[in-house]
Structure 1
Amino acid sequence: MAIDQTLRLLARARGLSVSDIATAIPRAGVNTVNAWLRGDKLPGQDQLDALARTFGVPAGALLAELASSLDPARTAGEHDLLAAYRALNTRQQGALLEVARGMAGHPSPRGRAVRKATRKKS
């Protein structure tokens, strides 16, 4: 989940308004907090630490998605694929994994079981 979504969910869960959050964060006004919640800006390190304290969560929990999105080992296509995968329901995710494994030449665990059962019948 992106940091702006995480912040919005935490604010809603804690019942905090934008002005409540702005008051708790040093050097952050209402406009800045609104920009964070829209995903237009990212908080700095000190602000992240203050946000984590305000919401009662580890700072790493706020940064998990951001860190993965900055992973230099992932290509833009991998990020797009991951976003598309996360938008699918569980059944669709399973089907997509079957197709991807087949394309990569890595049979799925279910595919191996079907082949074994077929060989035993022969």
Structure 2
Amino acid sequence: MIDHIGIKVADFDRAKAFYDEALAPLGARLLMMVPVEYTGGVKVGGYGRDRPVYWLHEEGGTGEQKHIAFAAATRAEVDAFHRVALAAGGRDNGAPGLRPHYHPDYYGAFVFDPDGNNVEAVCHAPA
């Protein structure tokens, strides 16, 4: 249902460094930077697997933090996301594990990104 989503970040380069690492285990990477002549000088970049679907937009203040959940194909990808995101500067907000209160096969992990957004990787496949 959702085609793409974007969030505001206070420091684009810091956020980019975090997401470059954190999204790699999920097979996603920075695919596009919008030329600054189209953004009024603001850094805007899009991440995805085959097309940009997750956009970072640099702004001085980020405002209200968001919750974003990225799909993982396997539970091992969820585990790797959590480990790599923490090593890249994320703060733990929930170790990898089952969340049966959502669904019996819901396996997720949560970190806060450098701007305080609650970023999750989730796998819905059974063990």
- The verdict on a shared fold, with TM-score over 0.5 as the criterion, is no
TM-score with structure 1 length normalisation? 0.27
TM-score with structure 2 length normalisation? 0.26
Structure with greater helix percent: 1
- Which protein, 1 or 2, shows the higher relative CO under an 8 Å CA cutoff with sep ≥ 6? 2
Structure with greater strand percent: 2
